[in-house]
């Protein structure tokens, strides 16, 4: 059973894979990536997708807070980072011929709903504490269960330093395979840190960046 209040905390305590939410950096895109927030393994994550997720989250948080506009710092950048990390985790799982099934997601979700007092309480917990809107709940569980399975494939527990190291190695390799490119307005994907960092203009061809 996954305890929502501890899933990310326990990973962070072991050095985990949580993403920093630093300030936005440079902006601008090359023609090949126009309209893309990131390109991961040749697949585009569109700016429109990111903005739609952010708008959904803002609306949900405002509804929960009676119209207040408080939101997590660096929300758009955090959303880009999560969408990239989802793909990196999926690649690491595929490299090991592992999957996270809909049934496993449903079981974990149901267990936490019971623990917290129902699906509405689970939704509030994820929304307000993890910045996960209703449409992203299954994705949240898929990512976290995937991280656990990656560690488990090495005979490790993701909550331990040894398990965390195994997960980081797997995600570093997967990120390198996918050749992650991020629009520099959101930052740059650091393969070794498995996170977004402030970007140089790596998105652009060298000649264009220098122009």
For 71-86, write each residue's pLDDT tens digit: 556 889 999 999 999 9
Cα 111 from Cα 160, distance rounded (Å) = 23
Q: Does any domain span residue 147?
A: yes
pLDDT of 21 higher than 60: no
> Higher model confidence: residue 40 or residue 11?
40
The structural domain count of the chain equals 1
Local confidence band at 70 (pLDDT 50, 70, 90 cut-offs): low
Q: How far is CA 90 from CA 94, 102, 163, in A?
A: 6, 14, 18
- Please write the tens of the pLDDT for every residue from 138-157: 999 999 999 999 999 999 99
* Nearest 10 degrees: Cα torsion 128, 131, 134, 137: -120
| Whether pLDDT at 4 is above 70 | no
Q: Which domain holds residue 192?
A: 4-200
pTM over 0.85: no
Does 207 reside within a domain?
A: no
- Name the 3-class secondary structure at 136: helix
Q: Is 189 within the bounds of a domain?
A: yes
Domain membership of residue 209 (yes or no) is: no
């Amino acid at each position: 059973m996954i305890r929502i209040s501890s899933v990310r905390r326990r990973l962070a305590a072991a050095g985990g894979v949580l993403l920093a939410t630093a300030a936005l950096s440079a902006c601008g895109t090359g023609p090949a990536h126009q309209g893309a927030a990131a390109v991961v393994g040749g697949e585009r994550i569109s700016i429109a997708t990111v903005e739609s997720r952010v708008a959904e989250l803002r609306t949900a948080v405002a509804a929960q807070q009676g119209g207040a506009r408080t939101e997590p710092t660096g929300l758009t950048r955090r959303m880009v980072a999560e969408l990239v990390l989802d793909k990196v985790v999926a690649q690491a799982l595929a490299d090991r011929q592992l999957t996270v099934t809909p049934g496993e997601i449903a079981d974990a979700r149901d267990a936490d709903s019971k623990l917290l007092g129902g699906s509405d309480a689970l939704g509030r917990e994820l929304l307000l504490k993890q910045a996960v809107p209703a449409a992203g709940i299954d994705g949240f569980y898929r990512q976290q269960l995937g991280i656990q399975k990656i560690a488990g494939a090495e005979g490790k527990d993701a909550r331990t330093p040894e398990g965390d190291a195994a997960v980081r190695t797997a995600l570093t390799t997967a990120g390198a395979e996918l050749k992650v490119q991020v629009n520099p307005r959101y930052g740059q994907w650091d393969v070794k840190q498995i996170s977004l960092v402030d970007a140089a203009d790596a998105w652009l061809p060298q000649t264009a960046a220098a122009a």
